[in-house]
Amino acid sequence: MSYASQLLDSYPRTFNVDAGILAAAIDALTDCAQACTADADDDLSEHNVAELVKCIRLCLDCADICATTAGVASRQTDYDANVTRPLLEACIASCKSCGNECQRHAMVHAHCQVCEQACRRCEQACKQLIDAIT
Amino acid sequence: MSYASQLLDSYPRTFNVDAGILAAAIDALTDCAQACTADADDDLSEHNVAELVKCIRLCLDCADICATTAGVASRQTDYDANVTRPLLEACIASCKSCGNECQRHAMVHAHCQVCEQACRRCEQACKQLIDAIT
Amino acid sequence: MSYASQLLDSYPRTFNVDAGILAAAIDALTDCAQACTADADDDLSEHNVAELVKCIRLCLDCADICATTAGVASRQTDYDANVTRPLLEACIASCKSCGNECQRHAMVHAHCQVCEQACRRCEQACKQLIDAIT
Amino acid sequence: MSYASQLLDSYPRTFNVDAGILAAAIDALTDCAQACTADADDDLSEHNVAELVKCIRLCLDCADICATTAGVASRQTDYDANVTRPLLEACIASCKSCGNECQRHAMVHAHCQVCEQACRRCEQACKQLIDAIT
Q: What percent of chain D has pLDDT over 70?
A: 99
Provide the pLDDT for residue D55. 98
Distance CA A82, CA B92 (A): 10
Indicate if the pLDDT at residue D15 is higher than 90.
no
User: Average pLDDT of A20-39?
Assistant: 98
The answer to whether D70 contacts B31, with C-beta atoms less than 8 Å apart, is: no
Given D60, D68, D96, which is nearest C75 (Cβ)?
D60
Q: List the single residue in D10, D13, D41 with the smallest CB-CB distance to B114.
A: D10
| Contact flag C64-D58 (C-beta cutoff 8 Å) | no
- On whether any CB of chain A is under 8 Å from the CB of D83, the answer is no
Stretch A120-124: mean pLDDT: 98
Nearest 5 degrees, angle CA A88-CA A93-CA A94? Answer: 95
pLDDT computed for residue C86 by the predictor: 96
Q: Is the pLDDT assigned to residue D19 strictly greater than 90?
A: yes
Torsion of CA A2, A121, A29, D52, to 10 degrees: 130
pLDDT for the residue numbered C114: 98
- pLDDT of D20 reads 96
Helix axes D81-105, D110-132, angle to 10 degrees: 160
Cα–Cα dist D123/D127, whole Å: 6
B7: contact with C, CB 8 A cutoff: no
Please list the alpha-helical segments (H only) found in A19-109. Answer: 19-44, 53-74, 81-105
Res D134 pLDDT > 90: no
Rounded CA-CA distance C119/C35 in Å is 8
pLDDT at D73: 97
- pTM of the entire structure? 0.98
Instruction: Determine contact: A68 vs chain B, CB below 8 A.
Output: yes
Does B134 have pLDDT greater than 80? Answer: no
Q: Write out chain B residues lying below 8 Å of C57, CB-based.
A: 41, 44
- Do C7 and A115 contact (CB within 8 A), yes or no? yes
The reported pLDDT for the residue numbered B54 is 97
Instruction: Specify the 3-state DSSP secondary structure of B83.
Output: helix
Which parts of chain C sit beneath pLDDT 70?
Answer: none
Check CB contact of D44 with chain A, cutoff 8 Å: yes
Instruction: Measure the CA dihedral B45/B46/B48/B51, to 10°.
Output: -70
Work out the average pLDDT over A76-91.
Answer: 95
Helices (H), ranges, chain D:
3-9, 19-44, 53-74, 81-105, 110-132
Per-residue confidence (pLDDT) for residue C16, from 0 to 100: 83
Q: D19-44 and B19-44 are packed helices; what angle lies between their axes, rounded to 10 degrees?
A: 140
- C51 near B CB under 8 A: no
pLDDT in tens, B70-127: 999 999 999 899 999 999 999 999 999 999 999 999 999 999 999 999 999 999 999 9
